[in-house]
Structure 1
Amino acid sequence: MKKLGNFVIQYSKSTLIFIIGITIISIILITKLEIKPGFLDLLPSDDPYVKTYEEATKSFKSVDSIIIGIEGSKENIIKYIEYISKKLKNVDYIDAIYYKNPIDFISKNIFLLSSDEEQKFLKKLYTSSNLVDFFNALNMMFEESDNRHKVTEQDKKRFEYMIESFNKLLISMKNEDIGMVKDEFLNMLFGEKYMLSKDGNFGMIVIRPTISSNDINKVVKLVNSIENIVKKNAGTYNVKAGLTGTLVIARDEMVVSDRDMAVATTVSLILILIIFILGFRSFRYMILSVIPLILGILWALGFTKITIGSLNIMTIMMGAILAGLGIDYSIHIISLYIELRNKNFSKIDALKGVFEKNVRGIIAGALTTAIGMGIFAISSFPGFREFGIALSSGIIFTLLAAIFGLTALLKKFGTKYKDPGNAFIIDYNIKKYRSISIAVLVILILLSFFKIKNVEFDKNMMNIEAKGLESIKLNEKILEEFEFSPDNTVFISRNLDEAKVLYDKLKNLKIFSQIDSISLFLPETDSQIARLRNAYEAKNTKIVNKKLDQKKLKAEINKLNFNLTKTALSINLMGYKNLAEKLKDIVKSGVLIQIANKKTENILKLQNIIIPLINDLKKGLNSTELISIEKIPEEIKSNYLGKDGKVLTTAYSNGDMWNADYQKEYFNQLNKLNLKNVSGTALIFLRVIQVSAREGKKILLLTIIFIFIILLLDMKSLKYAIIALLPMIISIILVLGVMGWFDIKFNVVNIIALPLIIGIGVDDGIHLIHRYRRENDLRTALKSTGKAITMTTLTTGAAFGSFILAKYRGFVGFGLLLLLGVTFSYLITVFIVTSILSYMEEDK
């Protein structure tokens, strides 16, 4: 180190000129550095999910959606949906808006789109001449239920909706509510016109954009534009409206994380400056220490542009992380420099003393920290690999800036100095308190081991999000009201035949409550031919007005009561208790008996509502043309067909995609099909979690091994290398113990803290052991080096601890674990490493 010190001191001017040149080049490179915060950039380009997602966005513009959730009365929601859907049509980056179901197409082709089991019911319904025929048709519907409902999740959901509408229809008939009778009859046949919840008090609009989740800047612009329009007009219609969906959550994450990074950086800088003033009592040395830090970060960003080309959502944190770690090297250099100057050393001799006594320990500490981050660079996971390259290079560059740049600056500007006093100096009777220190540590370790087994990975990934986000609440609301998750899964087929085969496979999976496929609108030709014949016969059957026979009507209604009870028993045995209960409730309510007992004039009034309505539907019935792809309206077809002939199928899960227990079941079922062309934003995010968890274990082990090798090479002593490792190892145990005691769980963000704690945790021990071996006096070494490691612990703690102020709970957990790790490492170094060294000192 003496030769290096002489070189730097002798060529300080040339060093500064070289530094200025490198800095200018770095700044030019930084202006071309891109930020790519999308999750696609975290996974390998050959990952099947990534390849399918990119293929889908090329063929179908976008596979993601933005969902508007609306709460209010049914009437107000429908008015608002109609208005806002038209208002949004001219917004940039919107490809399509889905706010109502294609009822016109469905009602026209009801026979062709319905299953073979439903044909008898439809034919009877469409040829009804009075209420006796009408209730006879309803009986047919429930008589066939055993065969019809063997039973996919989609069947279950449709049957449940039909029962709800059927019940409302009966109630409206009992109350003789003309408008409601018409609406609920149509709803029972064709489904709700608008996307409304069962009680009608929550509605949805689905927006398909022309951009993907990876184009985050355009996503933010689009979401903000939609949100402004939606919020601005909600009050006019007396509804409450908000946005959700993966794109909206991505926008919210970016906004919250930008705010959090700004707050954390500001708070940490203020705290670091306060620590400097208290420790050195000098603005001059505070400024001199910050300059190398800034230079190192600039060089690291320039290097990132050359090696990686862009920043992702993990490497974007490098500035905040380096601010907490990179300042340490300046602190160690300035602390010893001022100490030596106060002992009447000249500038040159003080700088030489720094190189002789401190720089080797600084380099060893920096290397262990760089390894803690650099091991990420060997990961096959691009997110970790880029994180490792950016952060490890940043540590090395801030180290070089401190060794070369700060030395040159101190030679020129380090003339003035003052006695900083006793601030942060550690001086206590080590031998007197060592037994107590070790005893306390043993107790803490035992308490930690008692609870470490309780530490687990958080099963709900939404728990890392900021509290109170409207997008998260609406996401949960939609899952509750519609029993499907807005986080969809997409499948790509090469042609229509392949899409039909895919649909037949997917509909049998229990994880999907809704499958949006072109197959729903394009039945097999053979089936259509037979069904078209039924439609033709129904449409051309002449209706002879029959006199209403109330005895027959009562008989049909009583039969319907019996069939409802029988169907309830049947589906209860199949495991669908909720559906069975709803049918039983209809029977128990007595609504059918009340209809049967109505006076003749009231019965005729109902008949004069329903039969003309059926006749009107019959007039628009398609009874001559098969449905072909050309016959499907463009607004339906565009949702499935890509410009290159590929077909998109979208499936919505019936559980929370962010819950780990549900994820396990989800992937188990999906993997059984061995499908290749499957993707989705949620799947990509979950892949990031899976890969990061797998790679994280490997990185932890390799980090410990490489750090131990560096310590052996540096200290040339197995004994001292093991002692230097103790703060890191014990701090990890204590951190896990705290997590176990206070039910703090790991997640995809805070788990990154462990390798960082390993890299940072050995620094204090390295500096103390190096100084002890040079001074041969433990108390002197602690008194001198103790101030520097106290200040570096405080500055690092300030940088990482400031994350606790974040709204994004992932950052809070990340900052908390790092703060605990840094604090424990410091305390173990000051009290335990010194105690061990004191025992070794007696044995000499």
Structure 2
Amino acid sequence: MEKLGIFIIKNIKTISVILIIITLGSLYLSTKIVIRPSFLDLLPENDPYVEIYKKATENFKSVDSIIIGIEGKKENVINYINSISKKLKKMQHIDSVYYKQPIEFLEKNIFLLSEDSEQAFLKKLYTSTNLVEFFKALNTLFEVSGNSYKISPQEKYQLDYMLDSFERLLTEINRNGNVESSLKSMLFGEEYFLSKNGNFGIIIIRPTISSNEFEKVVNLVNSLENTVKEEAKKYNVKAGLTGTLVITRDEIITTKRDMTVTTIISLILIILIFMLGFRSLRYMILAVFPLILGIIWTIGFTQLSIGSLNVMTVMMAAILAGLGIDYSIHMFSLFIELRHKGFDTRDSITGVFEKNIRGIFVGAITTAIGMGIFAISSFPGFKEFGVVLSSGIIFTLLASIFGLTILLYKFGNKYKDPGKVFNIDFDVLKYKKIILTITAILFIIAIVKIPSVEFEKNMMNIEAKGLESLELNQKILNEFNFSPDNTIFISNNILEAKELYNKLKDLKVFSRIDSIIPFLPDINLQIKRMKVAREIKNYTIIENDFDLKQLKNEVTKLNFNLIKASMLLNLLGYKDLGDKLKNITTSGILQAILKKDKEFLKSVQSKIIKKIVVLKRVLNDKELITLEKLPEDIKTNYLSNKGMILTTAYSNGDIWNSDYQKEYFKELKSLNSKNVSGTALIFLKVVQISIEEGKKILFLTLLFILIVLILDMRNVKYAVLAMLPMVLSLIFLLGIMGWFGIKFNVVNIIALPLIIGIGVDDGIHLIHRYRKERNMKNALTSTGKAITMTTLTTAVAFGSFVLSKYRGFIGFGILLLLGVIFSYLITIFVITSILSFEKTRTK
């Protein structure tokens, strides 16, 4: 190594020119680097989920959704929806805006679209001429048999809404209110997408861009957000955005902000530590310069080899800032020590190469291995992380060895005594037995709790706190019983889509199936139902009088049917629906209707019959519904130009909760469908691979580092001793996680291999210095100061992540901070204590 130092000094001009050329080239490449925060980029391109998602984005105008959530008084919410929807349709990159049901289409084709089990009810309702016949129709709806109400999860939501509408209809009848609107709502559902109390509504926007078009995503979401919130002020409502693209935008903004803050803060703190340790502005500038060079070279290399940064590699600069400065500190520490002893600049540099560079080099290699092992992963997210961070370590090492050596030779002639800040000048060995005893006790305490360490069940807990998009996501799940994070399926034709739809209806995990199939009933069924529709339309309704006694019988019968239906629903496990019907019967609403006088009831009857006449008049009794005749605003939502069909399924639970995921994936697997994908599925696949690959990477990292240490030290005992701080720090770290309930997640689990790579550095430097001089006091005094400073700089680099908003980065930073501190303490106290026994025996 001494020869390398002499070589650099002799060839300063040539090496300087080479470094300048490399730096300028890297700077140019750095300007072209982009950030890809999508989890889609973390999976292999041939992954089925990735392939289907890309196929969907290529063949359909829209796959991902942006959802607007609106809160306020019902009338204000509806007025706002009508107003903002018109403006949204005119905006760029928006394919369609869904803010209400296709009520006109449903009114026209209700007989063609309704199931056979509903035909009898509809026929009686649409031919009612008085209040008695109207209640007879309602009785038909609620008459139950042994096979009734065996409903799918999707039908359950529709029935739940229908029962709410039915109760509102009875309430309006009792007060002779807006009976027409309530009847229409019961038949066709709410026109707008509103919660049950009407105070929360949603608008679904289908943009023409996917989550991979980052700049367009950010611009579109920002533009939408400004428009949505400005318009909300006019209608006294609160409005916000959620959905896959919005969360992607939030992640991009949060990630950029976090990386900027953490990098700046870590650099400031690193400079402060350096200044305190060496008391020289000149030396601080000299030390930071190669660090900056190393980061620039790394970004340039990343652009050349990969072309972009992902959600994992984007924290590269902050990590390298903490690790890269270590090499400068170790070089400066010994350089100043030798200058203090009277050596000139040239001899001090050669002394650094003779005594320190080998330890610095091996420490960098072990750190690079800890990160580079990720590069052999089949998981692109880990692979890119390994390539970028391991190359970054090597580049910062080379920048220090070559760049700092040149700077020290040119500008290191002015020497200043740094004092004793960060020196270890207390007698560690005096308390070695106590230290080893405490270590053994802590080891046992930690081991006890390691089995209780868990993986985070809810992946949303790694996102930034307080994000409006996440809060709205949860609110939509609570209010509408479906998660905005959808699952998409692609079918090649109508027959495949129909088979898929029928299977999806039977799955418990989906509350809504957005498919073209319900709009396209079987042609033979349509022909049969068309005859009924024609018969109903040609039927002349003449309002006539009713008999109060007959009305009483029908209302009493309805009460009885509701009780039977309630009991059956409870028996079948639909307690919430059963309780709704029970509440209607116990509320006394039906008895209250019977107490009204005949004139009052006639007025109600008149409203109902007039509404039925209007509904009957628009019935379709001539045209069968075919794919070609579907309205464009319905058809374009499902069809591609190549004839493929998109089906979107919305889960009825929190897909980010691992307990729910077990049932979700179990049912999804039962479909045996290869044409399934979705942003949520892609993210969950990333989590799954992270866990599987993480185990393999941990084992390989330990193995390769042990091999490197044995080759370097040529002594198994010293190699094992050098690894001991890292091993114990991992055990203590896992113990703390177990005791304090800290969980692993897809981001912070990356900390473990890094701790393995970084945790051996202190031991390597101390053991190298000790073996060189066989004097523990000298090793602690000189190398100990460098170890203390490098620990502090690394700690602040990783500790700065706690300032992040993205909670995944916070957890990542905390684990690395603890791991680095534990490795340092174990090196200074435990390793020295163990080595002291060898020294005693040597004497």
Please give the range of the TM-score, normalised by the shorter of the 2 chains: over 0.9
Match of 1:425 among 406, 423, 426: 423
Mapped to 2, the partners of 1:294 and 1:62 lie a distance apart of 43
SS at match of 1:424: coil
Contact kept? 2:242, 2:469, Cα under 8 Å:
yes
Aligned residue type for 2:807? R
Match of 1:786 in 2: 784
Match of 1:665 among 663, 666, 675: 663
Aligned residue type for 2:92? D
Match of 1:496 among 491, 494, 498: 494
Give runs of aligned pairs for residues 504-515 of structure 1, distance below 5 A: 504-515=502-513
Deviation at 1:812, TM superposition (A): 0.8
1:54 has 2:54 as partner: yes
1:99 has 2:102 as partner: no
| Larger displacement relative to structure 2 (147-156 or 653-662) | 147-156
Give runs of aligned pairs for residues 36-115 of structure 1, distance below 5 A: 36-115=36-115
Match of 2:593 among 569, 592, 595: 595
1:161 has 2:161 as partner: yes
SS at match of 1:197: coil
Task: Give the percent of matched residue pairs that are identical in Structure 1 and Structure 2.
Answer: 64
TM-score normalised according to structure 1 size: 0.99
Mapped to 2, the partners of 1:24 and 1:582 lie a distance apart of 72
SS at match of 1:651: strand
Aligned residue type for 1:357? K
Contact kept? 2:144, 2:565, Cα under 8 Å:
no
Mapped to 2, the partners of 1:345 and 1:150 lie a distance apart of 91
Deviation at 1:148, TM superposition (A): 4.7
Match of 1:639 in 2: 637
Deviation at 1:201, TM superposition (A): 0.9
Match of 2:743 among 742, 745, 749: 745
Contact kept? 2:26, 2:300, Cα under 8 Å:
yes
Give runs of aligned pairs for residues 494-643 of structure 1, distance below 5 A: 494-643=492-641
1:697 has 2:698 as partner: no
SS at match of 1:101: coil
Match of 2:389 among 388, 391, 400: 391
Q: Give 5+ residue unaligned stretches, structure 2.
A: none
Match of 2:476 in 1: 478
SS at match of 2:488: strand
Contact kept? 2:543, 2:606, Cα under 8 Å:
no
Match of 1:3 in 2: 3
SS at match of 1:132: helix
Match of 1:220 among 218, 221, 224: 218
Contact kept? 1:430, 1:779, Cα under 8 Å:
no
Mapped to 1, the partners of 2:185 and 2:197 lie a distance apart of 13
Mapped to 2, the partners of 1:148 and 1:525 lie a distance apart of 25
SS at match of 2:100: coil
Mapped to 2, the partners of 1:642 and 1:69 lie a distance apart of 28
Deviation at 1:396, TM superposition (A): 0.5
Match of 2:308 among 302, 305, 310: 310
Mapped to 2, the partners of 1:145 and 1:767 lie a distance apart of 82
RMSD: 1.0
Match of 1:718 among 716, 719, 741: 716
Contact kept? 2:543, 2:609, Cα under 8 Å:
no
Q: Structure 1 residues 146 and 103 mapped into 2: Cα distance closer, same or farther (>3 Å)?
A: farther
Q: Structure 1 residues 529 and 766 mapped into 2: Cα distance closer, same or farther (>3 Å)?
A: same
Mapped to 1, the partners of 2:802 and 2:439 lie a distance apart of 26
Give runs of aligned pairs for residues 184-223 of structure 1, distance below 5 A: 184-223=182-221
Mapped to 2, the partners of 1:520 and 1:115 lie a distance apart of 10
Deviation at 1:144, TM superposition (A): 4.5
Match of 1:649 in 2: 647
1:28 has 2:13 as partner: no
Match of 1:826 in 2: 824
Mapped to 2, the partners of 1:566 and 1:540 lie a distance apart of 35
Contact kept? 1:478, 1:486, Cα under 8 Å:
yes
Count of residues in correspondence between the two structures: 842
SS at match of 1:650: strand
Mapped to 1, the partners of 2:572 and 2:720 lie a distance apart of 64
Contact kept? 1:430, 1:838, Cα under 8 Å:
no
Mapped to 2, the partners of 1:302 and 1:581 lie a distance apart of 65
Mapped to 1, the partners of 2:620 and 2:564 lie a distance apart of 34
SS at match of 2:212: coil
SS at match of 1:207: strand
Contact kept? 1:13, 1:408, Cα under 8 Å:
no
Mapped to 1, the partners of 2:61 and 2:761 lie a distance apart of 51
Give runs of aligned pairs for residues 168-567 of structure 1, distance below 5 A: 168-177=168-177, 179=178, 181-567=179-565
Mapped to 1, the partners of 2:44 and 2:183 lie a distance apart of 52
Q: Structure 1 residues 154 and 146 mapped into 2: Cα distance closer, same or farther (>3 Å)?
A: farther
Contact kept? 1:91, 1:225, Cα under 8 Å:
no
Match of 2:679 in 1: 681
SS at match of 1:457: coil
Deviation at 1:649, TM superposition (A): 0.3
Deviation at 1:34, TM superposition (A): 3.0
Aligned residue type for 1:599? D
| Larger displacement relative to structure 2 (371-380 or 801-810) | 801-810
Q: Structure 1 residues 344 and 145 mapped into 2: Cα distance closer, same or farther (>3 Å)?
A: farther
Match of 1:120 in 2: 120
Aligned residue type for 1:173? I
Mapped to 1, the partners of 2:145 and 2:684 lie a distance apart of 39
SS at match of 1:453: helix
Deviations 1:5-48 (A, max 9, x none): 22122212211111111112222222333332222211100000
Deviation at 1:306, TM superposition (A): 2.2
| Larger displacement relative to structure 2 (430-439 or 39-48) | 430-439
Contact kept? 1:38, 1:213, Cα under 8 Å:
yes
Deviations 1:627-673 (A, max 9, x none): 01122110111110112111000000000011011111100110111
Deviation at 1:450, TM superposition (A): 2.0
Deviations 1:759-790 (A, max 9, x none): 00000000000000001111111111001010
SS at match of 1:129: coil
Deviation at 1:544, TM superposition (A): 4.3
Mapped to 1, the partners of 2:450 and 2:795 lie a distance apart of 24
Q: Structure 1 residues 530 and 146 mapped into 2: Cα distance closer, same or farther (>3 Å)?
A: farther
TM-score normalised according to structure 2 size: 0.99
Q: Structure 1 residues 431 and 547 mapped into 2: Cα distance closer, same or farther (>3 Å)?
A: closer
Mapped to 2, the partners of 1:68 and 1:682 lie a distance apart of 19
SS at match of 1:13: helix
Mapped to 2, the partners of 1:320 and 1:736 lie a distance apart of 24
1:727 has 2:738 as partner: no
SS at match of 1:415: coil
Deviations 1:309-332 (A, max 9, x none): 222121111111111111100110
Q: Give 5+ residue unaligned stretches, structure 1.
A: none
| Larger displacement relative to structure 2 (250-259 or 272-281) | 250-259
Match of 1:761 in 2: 759
Mapped to 2, the partners of 1:835 and 1:586 lie a distance apart of 78
Contact kept? 2:375, 2:383, Cα under 8 Å:
yes
Deviation at 1:145, TM superposition (A): 6.6
Mapped to 2, the partners of 1:61 and 1:694 lie a distance apart of 35
Deviation at 1:477, TM superposition (A): 0.4
Mapped to 2, the partners of 1:175 and 1:140 lie a distance apart of 24
Q: Structure 1 residues 258 and 29 mapped into 2: Cα distance closer, same or farther (>3 Å)?
A: closer
Match of 1:797 among 795, 798, 803: 795
Aligned residue type for 1:111? F
Mapped to 1, the partners of 2:309 and 2:258 lie a distance apart of 18
Aligned residue type for 2:319? I
